[in-house]
């Protein structure tokens, strides 16, 4: 999957994560290994990271991060073998905002973080098809969860989580949508 830097920047601009800045007043730093391969390049001001930092392995990009006041602030891109694997956003060194994880077929995971914790709807995809949706509050499953059959998209299982534990009625369906089993849980304990 080839997503350009421009597409990522265009994605993050509406949420204010990317700001056009003049880095002319910053010091440019470059670190190389013994073989001369680029390992890291970054900008700094008064000894603190400021602006973009890029990490490399054997001169192939592995991560691009933005800093403000020596803390990660703004978008972060993680690469594997030079291909974009994940984009997310940071605020004061904590994940904060949307996160997208990619595989060869496109988006494999999509969610949101707030102050370093999973928050809101998280989606899991396989080959572009939705497989699971879950709701998080303060890094814990809290809310309705649904798992789907691959290819058909029909519901396989559904129920509620409360503080990371199954709670209430959970229902399992066959691929045609017929109920196979209903199970009741109370704080993660199966009640029948």
Q: Environment class of residue 148 by beta-carbon count within 10 Å: exposed (0-12), middle (13-18) or buried (19+)?
A: buried
Listed by start position, the domains of the chain span 1-18+25-96, 119-192
**Lowest model confidence (mean pLDDT) among 91-95, 105-109, 131-135:** 105-109
Q: Kindly report whether the global pTM for this prediction surpasses the value 0.85.
A: no
Q: Which pLDDT value is given to residue 15?
A: 44
Does residue 140 contact residue 164 with C-beta atoms inside 8 Å?
Answer: yes
pLDDT over 70 (residue 23)? no
The tokens describing 108, both together, are 């494999």
How far is Cα 126 from Cα 144, in angstroms, rounded to an integer? Answer: 20
SS3 110: strand
Q: Which pLDDT value is given to residue 30?
A: 94
pLDDT 10s digits, 39-93: 999 999 988 999 999 999 988 999 999 999 999 999 999 999 989 999 999 999 9
Mean pLDDT over the full length of the chain: 89
């Amino acid at each position: 999957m080839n997503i350009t830097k421009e597409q990522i920047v265009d994605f993050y601009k509406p949420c204010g994560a990317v700001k056009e800045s003049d880095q002319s007043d910053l010091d440019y730093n470059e670190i190389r290994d013994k073989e001369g391969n680029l390992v890291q390049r970054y900008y700094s001001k008064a000894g603190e990271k400021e602006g973009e930092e890029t990490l490399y392995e054997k001169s192939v990009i592995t991560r691009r991060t933005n800093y403000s006041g020596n803390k990660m602030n703004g978008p972060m891109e993680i690469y594997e073998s030079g291909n974009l694997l994940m984009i997310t956003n940071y605020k004061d060194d904590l994940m904060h905002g949307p996160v997208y994880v990619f595989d060869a077929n496109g988006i494999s995971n999509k969610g949101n973080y707030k102050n370093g914790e999973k928050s809101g709807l998280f989606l899991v995809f396989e080959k572009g098809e939705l497989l699971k949706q879950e709701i998080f509050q303060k890094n814990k499953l809290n809310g309705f969860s649904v798992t789907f059959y691959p290819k058909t998209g029909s519901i396989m299982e559904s129920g509620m989580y409360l503080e990371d534990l199954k709670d209430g009625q959970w229902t399992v369906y066959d691929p045609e949508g017929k109920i196979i089993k209903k199970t009741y849980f109370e704080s993660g304990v199966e009640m029948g």
